């Protein structure tokens, strides 16, 4: 009889040996041997959970450093991601708790009556107090699978927190750099307004002397007013950008201000030695990978529902029909129970669970593959953008030099009465347009650099370098282990 009593447990153990293995993941997009825009390579070790590093210090701007630090402390998106990580970690602890014995204290009082009761038809009370112990052996990996799923979800949340921090840092840097570019553009427009005002005063004197017609005065007044309007439009745009920066650093827009200052920010240069293995450092790719592995583990948990469950319970304490005798030694009682359960028919619920988990795995696989491809594209986009922007900056610089020389010559000739006012105004407009376009190209270089650092996953060491008339900083590409 004892041998027959153990047969269900032996059968369950045999079923465990036949458990379906987790589905294998298909091959993912292999990293390219090199990016099209780079020539040499270094190695970057995976570091998805590490801090992204103080990459913004490569811009050598104390104001930017302070703003990024404030954003890291008070940004609401970072706070929300941190809270979600804390929630995921609590679920890991809960999943680990399911694998341990559960112990509790209990007390109860029952009052019953009936023809079949011990005391007959008269009502009676039964008082009980004791300790309960419950444990479910993890024979088929259910609890372990749930623990693994929770751990992978927590890893994904941790990577998402790093990704959110990196995104907030990058957006703060980009917004600040836009603000500084607007400051320079506003100063440039004011300088042009002063030049137009000087031309207007000269034209008014010549008009009073009878050397020019009133039309020349009106033209000069038009240029002054139109350029002043441009300056006001830039001021309005700057106010909007400043308010956006306030939200990033977690402060009310009405209490936040960034004083106008010279744009002395250094332009970092990402060297050609950028490794394709940098994808292992990107926190968003790491998050997608953890989510994929969690989806794979969920398939195993769903498959484990086909196998029996074994529950062990034990209880010891006291039971007595009289409350005064409850704690007497003679009232002691205990019980031990083992329950082996194997569902036979559930209307297709378990199969539906497996199919749902498999569908989630397919979706996570497609999401991960898409994230990898996007990462490749973002790096290539910014590498090519920086190369072309550098060439555009050189060409635009030559255009600015020529336009500035043309304005100087036209101003001298106009003062000497050799050319008309139209030629001078046209030269000034051309100079202003070219200088503003040069500023836009320089601003685009800063923006592309920030986006490239973000695409690379941040966390790059910086070494200063001088170059081409303004301070630059070379980001030495060395992976942090």
pLDDT in tens, 345-370: 778 888 888 888 889 888 988 888 88
345 is a domain residue = no
The model's pTM: 0.74
Q: How many residues can be counted in the chain?
A: 481
Residue 112 domain flag: no
pLDDT, the chain, mean:
78
**Tens digit of each residue's pLDDT (9 = 90 or more) over 108-130:** 777 766 555 555 566 767 777 77
Cβ contact 145:96 at 8 Å: no
- CATH number for 199: 1.20.1600.10
- What number is the average pLDDT over the span 468-478? 31
Q: Which two tokens stand for residue 257?
A: 């201000």
Residue 460, in any domain of the structure: yes
Tens of pLDDT, residue by residue over 376-393, are 888 888 888 888 999 999
Residue 471 pLDDT > 50: no
At 49 the pLDDT is 47
In a domain, 155, yes or no: yes
In a domain, 229, yes or no: yes
Number of structural domains (the chain) is: 1
Note whether residue 360 is domain-resident: no
Instruction: For residue 425, give its domain range.
Output: 28-98+138-307+370-476
pLDDT at 277 over 60: no
């Amino acid at each position: 009889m004892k041998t027959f009593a153990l047969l269900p447990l032996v059968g369950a153990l045999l079923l465990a040996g036949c458990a379906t293995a987790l589905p294998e993941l298909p091959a993912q997009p292999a990293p390219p041997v090199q990016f099209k825009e780079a020539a040499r390579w270094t190695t970057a070790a995976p570091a998805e959970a590490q801090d992204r590093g103080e990459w913004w210090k490569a811009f050598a701007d104390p104001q930017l450093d302070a703003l990024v630090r404030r954003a890291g402390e008070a940004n609401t998106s970072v706070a929300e991601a941190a809270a979600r990580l804390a929630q995921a970690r609590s679920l890991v602890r809960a999943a680990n708790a399911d694998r341990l014995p559960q112990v509790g204290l209990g007390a109860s009082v029952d009052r019953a009556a009936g023809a079949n009761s011990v005391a007959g038809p008269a009502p009676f009370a039964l008082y009980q107090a004791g300790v309960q112990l419950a444990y479910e052996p993890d024979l088929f990996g259910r609890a372990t699978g749930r623990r693994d799923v929770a751990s992978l979800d927590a890893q994904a949340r941790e990577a998402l927190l790093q990704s959110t921090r990196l995104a907030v840092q990058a957006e703060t840097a980009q917004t600040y750099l836009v603000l500084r570019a607007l400051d320079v553009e506003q100063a440039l427009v004011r300088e042009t307004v002063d030049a137009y005002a000087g031309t207007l005063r000269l034209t008014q004197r010549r008009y009073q002397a009878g050397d020019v017609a009133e039309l020349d005065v009106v033209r000069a007044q038009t240029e002054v007013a139109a350029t002043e309007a441009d300056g006001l439009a830039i001021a309005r745009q700057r106010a909007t950008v400043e308010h956006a920066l306030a939200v990033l650093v977690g402060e009310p827009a009405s209490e936040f201000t960034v004083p106008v200052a010279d744009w002395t920010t250094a332009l970092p240069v990402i060297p050609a030695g950028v490794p394709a293995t940098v994808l292992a450092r990107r926190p968003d790719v790491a998050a997608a990978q953890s989510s994929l592995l969690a989806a794979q583990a969920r398939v195993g948990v769903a498959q484990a529902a086909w196998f029996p469950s074994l529950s062990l319970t034990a209880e010891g304490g006291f039971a007595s029909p009289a409350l005064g005798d409850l704690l007497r030694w003679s009232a002691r009682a205990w019980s031990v129970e083992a329950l082996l359960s194997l569902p036979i028919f559930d209307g297709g619920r378990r199969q539906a669970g497996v199919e749902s988990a498999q569908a989630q795995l397919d979706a996570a696989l497609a999401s991960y593959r898409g994230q990898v491809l996007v990462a490749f594209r973002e790096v290539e986009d910014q590498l090519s953008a920086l190369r072309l922007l550098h060439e555009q900056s050189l060409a635009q610089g030559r255009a600015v030099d020529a336009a500035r020389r043309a304005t100087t010559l036209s101003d001298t000739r106009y003062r000497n009465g050799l050319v008309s006012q139209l030629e001078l105004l046209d030269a000034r407009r051309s100079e202003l347009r070219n200088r503003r376009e040069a500023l836009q190209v320089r601003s685009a270089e800063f923006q592309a650099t920030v986006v490239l650092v973000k695409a690379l996953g941040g966390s790059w060491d910086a070494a200063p370098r001088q170059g081409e008339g303004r301070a630059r900083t070379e980001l030495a590409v060395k992976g942090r282990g």
